[in-house]
Structure 1
Amino acid sequence: MTEGAWTLEPATSRLSYVSIKAGEVAEANRFDRLSGTVAADGTATIEIDLASVNTGVDIRNERMRDIFFQVVDNPTATVTAKLDPAAFAALAVGQSISRPLKGTVSIKGAQSDIETDVLVTRVSADRVTVVPTAPVIISTDMFELTDELGELRALAQLPSITPAVPVTFTLSFSRS
């Protein structure tokens, strides 16, 4: 994958999560604006525009932006990882390979390490897709967001909002 630099294709990439409120109501959410690169040395950086959070409900989007993420002061979340270029060098068009991936997620100044297995598929000579083989579980306590979650719960007059969410993604990269 890393024969040169690669750039994330925002139109064909997606980052989604499922929130659970009141103990049993699951709702799919997503971020609509992503950007990123993988450098020739395997350094990967993904930027998530937190203002692009899309819950399907305008007032909830506003509360997520203003209260939970506080996007005026914290416009992006960042995921960084280091890939082994040799692990993907021989991947032929149409082939996939599963590899463990360790990364660091940064939100509002707090960082947490994550681990998952990803499936990398070479779609064409100059395009790859990356998907997790299982959702990544992200929790509010990983990023000191528990108070913000409590404020959202109180505003929405809910008995609970589950503090951990499964996150999935489809990332498409093209050779720069």
Structure 2
Amino acid sequence: MLVTSGMSYADWDLDQTDSQLHFMSVKSTSIAELHTFKTITGSLSDSGKAELVIDLNSVNTNIPIRDERMQAMLFDTVNFPLAKLAADVDIIAVKALETGQTITQDVELKLDLHGQTQTFPAQLQVTALESGKLMVATTAPVVIKAEDFNLVEGVNALRDVAGLPSITLAVPVTATLFFNP
């Protein structure tokens, strides 16, 4: 097993192939569905600035017409094509990790979505992998509320067009992200 003497990399870029960002919606009171975004980019800088950019046009619900409706009616991707997430991590602790070691960090996530910006507390688990790679994962879902981002009208429009009695106005979001040096 490769063991390093701590990280010495300047910046890390998001591995788009292996990274995953999921959110779950609940419709009709009890039907839970898992969704993802196919296109996310990001980086972690040498100063500890983590940034993630989510292409909202890449929403993937496994139902193409629902993807299109979410893009148009919920996210309004013509006007707001991207969501941006930022956080500051303790880069000294990250760089001190040996291959295979994991640390947990409490961070404030800043989310810019649909023209609104909110912050959320989150706990992240950071693991040093071989060749200087990092895995960063949420330890618990981060709950995003539609009302915080002016998305309630969009959720209601989706509910009406689908003929559903309800769609929850809060969704749990989880992430497992891989960064390459």
TM-score bracket for the superposition, by shorter chain length:
over 0.9
Paired positions, count: 175
- 1:9 is the counterpart of 2:15: yes
Cα deviation for residue 125 of structure 1 reads: 3.4
Task: Give the match's secondary structure for 1:142.
Answer: helix
Between the aligned residues of both structures, percent identity stands at 37
Counterpart in the other structure of 1:94: 100
Q: Offset at 1:3? A: 3.7
Q: Distance in 2 between matches of 1:12 and 1:64?
A: 24
* Residues 33, 48 of structure 1: 8 Å contact kept: yes
Matched, 1:62 2:65: no
> 2:171 maps to what in 1?
165
Q: Deviations over 1:138-168 (max 9, x none)?
A: 1101111111111111111111000111111
Task: Report the Cα distance in structure 1 between the residues aligned to 2:51 and 2:96, rounded to whole angstroms.
Answer: 23
C-alpha separation between the residues in 1 aligned to 2:152 and 2:8?
38
Q: 2:145 maps to what in 1? A: 139
Contact 1:3–1:85 (CA under 8 A) maintained in structure 2: no
Unaligned runs of 5+ in 2: 1-6
1:76-122 per-residue CA deviation (whole Å, 9 max, x = no partner) reads 10001112211212100011111112110011110110111111111
Task: Supply the distance in 1 between the matched residues of 2:45 and 2:116 (Cα, whole angstroms).
Answer: 24
**1:74 Cα shift?**
1.1
Specify the alignment match of 1:48 in structure 2.
54
Q: Deviation of residue 124 (structure 1)? A: 1.3
- 1:104 match: 110
Q: Match of 1:126?
A: 132
TM-score with structure 1 length normalisation? 0.96
Structure 1 gaps of 5+ residues are none
TM-score, normalized by length of structure 2? 0.93
Q: RMSD in angstroms over aligned alpha carbons?
A: 1.1
Residues in 2 aligned to 1:152 and 1:102: alpha-carbon distance in whole angstroms: 30
From the superposition, tell whether residues 162 and 2 of structure 1 become closer, same or farther in structure 2 (CA, over 3 Å). Answer: farther
Report the 3-state secondary structure (helix = DSSP H, G, I; strand = E; otherwise coil) of the residue aligned with 2:178. strand
Structure 1 stretches of 4+ with a deviation exceeding 4 A read: none
